[in-house]
Amino acid sequence: MSLRSVVLPGGERLALEGEPPYAATDLVPLVGKAFELPCDDPSLSGEGIPESAYLEGAQAGWSEHPEWMDFLDESSPVWDLKSAERDLYMRHWRPHLGAVRVLDVGCGVGRFTLPFLERGAEVWSVDGDLESLRRCAWHAAGLRGRLELHWSGVHVLPEVEVDVVIAAEVLPYVPRDREALASMVARLRPGGVLLFSLEARWGWAASQDAPVGGLQMALDGDGVVDLPGDRWVRTHDEDSVRALISSAGLELEQLAPSHWLTDGPLEGVLGEMTLEELVEAEAKLAEHPVWGPLHRLWIGVARKPASPTAG
C-alpha cells in the first residue's frame, strides 16, 4: 500500500499529490503522529515462527527502550555509535551513493533512507515494523528527495525498478534467504547494485550481546543461531556468502570483513575514534592471525549483469 493510504489519528487522510514516491517536504504533517498504514504482507501476523523473532524483538524494544530504537534522534544514547556504523557502511558503498532510484529493504528508522533522500534520490523504503516506518517518515519529512513507505516483509516488495537495493542486516534473519534475495534482485535494473551486509560465521559468539545458551552453536553448529524466544540468525563464512550471491545471478564486486568495532567483539576496548581511525583499525584486524577470523559482519556490493547487447 502507498503513503496515499496513510490514516492520521482521528481518521484524517494525508493529501498527497501525484504518484509515489512523494516529495519528502509533503510529509511534514506526519511528524510526531502515530499514523496507520495498511500492511502489504499478511505473513507479518504470524507468531512462533523464525521470521517473527526479529519483529517481536523490535516491538519489545519500542515498548521497553524507545530511546535506543530511534537512534537517529540525537538524544538517543546510541546516536554516536549508530552514526559511526552508518558512516562505516557508507564508506564501503561510497561509489554508489549517487543512485537516483533506491529500494531500502529493512529500512528501520531510516539510517540509509535519509542519506539518499538528502542527495535528492527517490527512495522506496520497506520494513515489517510499523513503528520503525513511522519514525522513518518523521525523520525524512522536509528533506530534498522523494519517499514511499511500505509496511511489508522481504518477500513482498513494491513493483519498482531501481538502481540500488539496500539489504543491510536483513538476509541473516530470513530463513528463506535465497527466495528473498531473488525478490530484491528482480527489482534491480540491469547493471544495478545490491548493497548488503551479512552476519559473519564466528564473531557473533564473541560479541557482548551474544545469546546465553548458544555455546554449542558457536562450537560446531551449521551457522544458524536458533534460540526460540530469543533470536534466529543465519551466519556466513566467505564461501557461503559467495554461494548466496551467485545463486541470485549477481556478480560480487566487493566483500569486506568488518569487526564492527562499535558494536562487536572488541567494543569494550574501542575508545573514541574518528571514521578514518576506525577504518584503519578494521584493516589491521582483518590481517590479524587471532582476531581476523572473528569479524562480526560481511559488507559487500554485488552487481546485476547488464542486459546482453543486441547482435
Amino acid at 220: D
> Cα angle at 77 between 72 and 80, to 5 degrees?
60
Average pLDDT, the chain: 91
Which residue's entry shows cell 528533506? Answer: 143
Residue 175's nearest CA partner among 32, 311, 46, 12 is 46
Which SS3 state, helix, strand or coil, does residue 87 take? helix
Report whether pLDDT(153) > 60.
Answer: yes
- Going by pLDDT thresholds of 50, 70 and 90, the confidence category of residue 220 is confident
Kindly report, residue by residue over 265-290, the tens digit of the pLDDT: 787 788 788 888 888 998 999 999 99
Q: Which residues contact 71 (CB under 8 A, 6 or more apart)?
A: 78, 79, 81, 82, 109, 111
Residue 304's nearest CA partner among 197, 195, 194, 154 is 194
Q: How far apart are the first and last CA of the chain?
A: 41
Report whether pLDDT(168) > 70.
Answer: yes
> Cα angle at 55 between 53 and 60, to 5 degrees?
95
Backbone region of residue 46 per phi and psi (left: phi > 0; alpha: psi in -120 to 50; beta: other values) = beta
CB-based contact 200:116 (threshold 8 Å): no
| Domains detected in the chain | 3-303 (3.40.50.150)
Amino acid at 203: G
For residue 199, give the C-alpha cell.
Answer: 552476519
Pairing state between β 22-23 and 146-151:
antiparallel
Q: Which residues pair with 49 in a beta bridge?
A: none
pTM of the model: 0.93
- Going by pLDDT thresholds of 50, 70 and 90, the confidence category of residue 47 is low
Residue 139's nearest CA partner among 169, 166, 107, 168 is 107
